[in-house]
Amino acid sequence: MRRPFCLAPTLITLLLLLLVIGCSKPATENPFTYPFIKEFRLKREPGKPYSDYKAFYVLTEDFEPPVTTASELAGIREVLKFASDLSSKYKIPWTHFVEANTLAPAFTSDDEELKQRCREMISNLKSMSEDGDDCELHLHGPLNRELLEQLRSQEKLHVKQQGVDAIQPYRQRRSFFFNSFYGGSYHELVANLTYGKRLLEKVLYDGKKQVLAFRPGGWDHGSTSLDTLLYFHALSDSGLIANSGLSTGDFGGKNWRVGNDPGHNVARISAGDDQIIEVSPTAGPGGYVNPVLPADLKKLATSVGDAMPVLVSVYHLGGLLLQRDGLNEYEKKNADLQTERELLDRHFQTVSELAEARILYPITLRELLTIISEQQ
């Protein structure tokens, strides 16, 4: 008699395991769980100007308005004046992450009026930094090719690429394929960061200060742990010491957000022999805390023990520009502009009141990095 058909226990177990794996959702990519990223908590040290406050507050904005015609510059410069006036009125500084390509027409345009107006915009940014604002590097893609070649011709910088050697072990002779793919692409990544950094140092700080931090355009630091490790090595090879923009999950999906919760958005990253400090935005509605969206800053400023959380908000001053046929996702219709300005003014007023109550300590990213370095 034929025996009844049955599966071996081990085979049943294997099939069940495959079924579970097949039906389960993939784990959300969270860079704060990567082994080379370690959360860091700032201590409330006695005798410091910030000792009696609940939390640090860093107001950041990505300065990336499109600059294609001279006529656009008048509106952009007026927006910068409005932002500067808010800082002066409420004593709250901005940290501007400047898209280096926004400055490119000042050096590459054939339109002399556009070139001059763009240089005047740069002077406005420079004056704001002299008055207490901070300017750091931002890029959505490679540097404008003509601008990069100009910078290379003016200053031959040594472009490092130690990072690719450290994280990309290679069993063959490092010849055609390695030099074309790994070496070549990594070299260009570091070159763009290095020359972008140097450009801002020259035109905004007269070479007297270094640009310290970077924010990746689109919050894109790679799709995997290995990508992100390569990204941080490139920052290190470029001479940058900080980043502000880790994102979790899949862009556009429900699991996507920028930064992390208060008290968990500052970290140290090991990049070979160097360290990069991550000061991520504070996660909130829409992905991150935005000055013109509702957020309970007092509640977010809750501290634990002697640790001081860091609240980092993100804005785009391009959001105060007039709409031009929908060319810029941040531009608003005329009817919305006054509301946007009022919301931003109200935010400054709220932060000022929380500062007077010794809850929020407004600070630039540059100043915060100094404090972090003292505690390492």
**What SS3 state is found at 99?**
strand
29-375, superfamily in CATH? Glycoside hydrolase/deacetylase (3.20.20.370)
Q: Which residues, in sequence order, are CB contacts of 97 under 8 Å at separation 6+?
A: 60, 61, 62, 63, 136, 137, 138, 213, 214, 215, 244
Averaged pLDDT for residues 75-90: 97
Averaged pLDDT for residues 170-199: 84
pLDDT, residue 334, reads 65
Residue 95 · residue 60 · CB < 8 Å = yes
Give the span between the Cα atoms of 232 and 148, in whole angstroms: 22
On whether the pTM is more than 0.95, the answer is: no
Give the span between the Cα atoms of 279 and 123, in whole angstroms: 28
Q: Where are the domains of the chain?
A: 29-375
Whether the pLDDT of residue 246 is over 90: the answer is yes
Residue 161 · residue 183 · CB < 8 Å = yes
**Confidence at 20, pLDDT banded by 50, 70, 90:** very low
Whether the pLDDT of residue 370 is over 90: the answer is yes
Instruction: Choose among 238, 362, 252, 240: nearest CA to 312.
Output: 362
